[in-house]
Structure 1
Amino acid sequence: MQIELTGKRVLVTGANSGIGAAVAREFASAGARVAVNYVTHPEAADAVVAELQAAGAQAVALQADVSDKAQVEAMFARLDTLWGGIDVLVNNAGIDGPSAPGWQADPQKWRSVIDINLMGAFYCAQAALARMVAQKSGVVLNMTSVHEIVAWSGFSAYTASKAGLSMLTKTLAQEAGPFGVRVLSVAPGAMKTPINASVWNDPQGLADLLTKIPLGRMGLPEDVAHLAVFLASDMASYMTGSTVFVDGGMTDYPSFMHGG
């Protein structure tokens, strides 16, 4: 099945590595023009852009801290100048923050997770939707996590941000639907990316993790990227306001595989 997105204008936040980079590659391979957002490591963003351009795609790197509304507005203004607007936003930028029980968490560090994961996604969605509603077309994909529904001790800010982003998705979808604009969430499970290399490089840690995944393997960034491109395409034109999990069954209560 070949998905065709030729000429579509796509912004992927946090796209200089991991899932974001894979999503950028997949959209480019479908013919889209791709803006690679980053906040640090410009050399990594430039490498992704160079890779996409070498494959024949139009691509550009755009620096912006998504938790800063002024920087987000400047980024979208740059897209307006370059491509005349946006057709697809993938809100991928996010952090998990330091691990600590809620009663010991540093409020400033806790807040920074919310500012990036939730407020940053809102700022970008707000800017994108203003354009999409006006043109009566567009798709916003918010990258949540299995932790929008699964508790994760030590990471209350992360789980709160992802649960909040899930409900934000539903509400924005309800608001934007009458204008022909769709809003969805993509919820990855345990993905094999550099950010969690300490887990999958540790045999004991990996073995424990795999007991939580019925399919018996970690996901790859490409697993998420394939889904993102499908959801942004007309093949998913009747889908909005929901979360699609790509988690190998992690949310399917694997501890009950052998009975209650």
Structure 2
Amino acid sequence: MLAVDLSGKRALVTGANSGIGEAIALHLAQAGADVAVNYLNHPEAADAVCDKIRALGRRAIAMQADVADPSLVGKMFALLDKEWGGIDILVNNAGIDGRPALGWQGEVADWTKVIEVNLFGAFHCCREALNRMVPQGHGVILNMSSVHEVIPWSGYSAYTASKAGLSMMTKTLAQEAAPHGVRVLALAPGAIKTAINKNVWSNPEGLADLNLKIPLGRMGETAEIAKMAAVMVSDLASYATGSTVFVDGGMTDFADFAHGG
């Protein structure tokens, strides 16, 4: 029987004190990894996730840092070096969707902020991780993308641009790192039920409309994303790099066209 085995691996998951990030952190720990829990706000939530990881018999560290700030990211990785002697797995999960606005109506500062967090933030973390993984000759980076790396989303041009950029950055870094034994991948969730989008799935009309866009007819659960993440960073996916895996219930299959154009 094949099973995900991350025994002895040292992982860092950004934005891991809630939602998809928390689910990924816990699934990596269940598979045997020690997990550093990065967060921006709500340290009590990060501490609670760390407690759950320790209850699974693994080591955990709560690490506060704004991933958009390269100096703070550098300090976070330096602390990881000090505490655990390095890193084997990086999951770039931290991200924001930003303030909705049509492209000609939005504020430049709002647009820039999304790019700084979602794309620059992932790059800062990738850069630090690769500076460690390349010399040691192994490691895996998993960038959390979105179906919106390929599906437009009116009002959220910064978000879609950041995810499309993340996809190409993933491919390029994978190409650069492959000769050194390091894999770089992206995972693109579809509509996943979290506290952030509760206003959608708690509204019967909104949920019904959303489900029409999903061939499987339902929103996904955070555990369904976390399970795939654990597989992708494990040796079960040892020959996979440079690609995006969509876990979206078929949303990118454009369910609206199931009955004709």
Query: Which range, TM-score by smaller chain?
Result: over 0.9
Matched residue of 2:131: which SS?
Answer: helix
Q: Equivalents in 2 of 1:255, 1:214: separation in Å?
A: 9
Structure 1: 5+ residue stretches without partners: none
Q: Equivalents in 1 of 2:204, 2:155: separation in Å?
A: 22
User: How many positions carry a matched residue from both structures?
Assistant: 260
Match of 2:241 in 1: 240
Is residue 2:67 matched to residue 1:66?
A: yes
Match of 1:24 in 2: 25
Matched residue of 1:225: which SS?
Answer: helix
Displacement after TM superposition at 1:253 (Å): 1.4
Q: TM-score, normalised by structure 2?
A: 0.99
Match of 1:109 in 2: 110
TM-align CA RMSD: 0.6
Task: For 1:1-260, list aligned pairs within 5 A.
Answer: 1-260=2-261
Q: Equivalents in 2 of 1:82, 1:228: separation in Å?
A: 24
Matched residue of 2:66: which SS?
Answer: coil
Deviations 1:222-256 (A, max 9, x none): 11100111011111010000000000000001112
Q: Equivalents in 1 of 2:192, 2:4: separation in Å?
A: 24
Q: Equivalents in 1 of 2:176, 2:3: separation in Å?
A: 31
Matched residue of 1:22: which SS?
Answer: helix
Q: TM-score, normalised by structure 1?
A: 0.99
Deviations 1:188-244 (A, max 9, x none): 000000110000011110000000000011011111100111011111010000000
Q: Equivalents in 1 of 2:198, 2:254: separation in Å?
A: 24
The code of the aligned residue for 2:102 comes to P
Q: Equivalents in 1 of 2:144, 2:56: separation in Å?
A: 26
Matched residue of 1:154: which SS?
Answer: coil
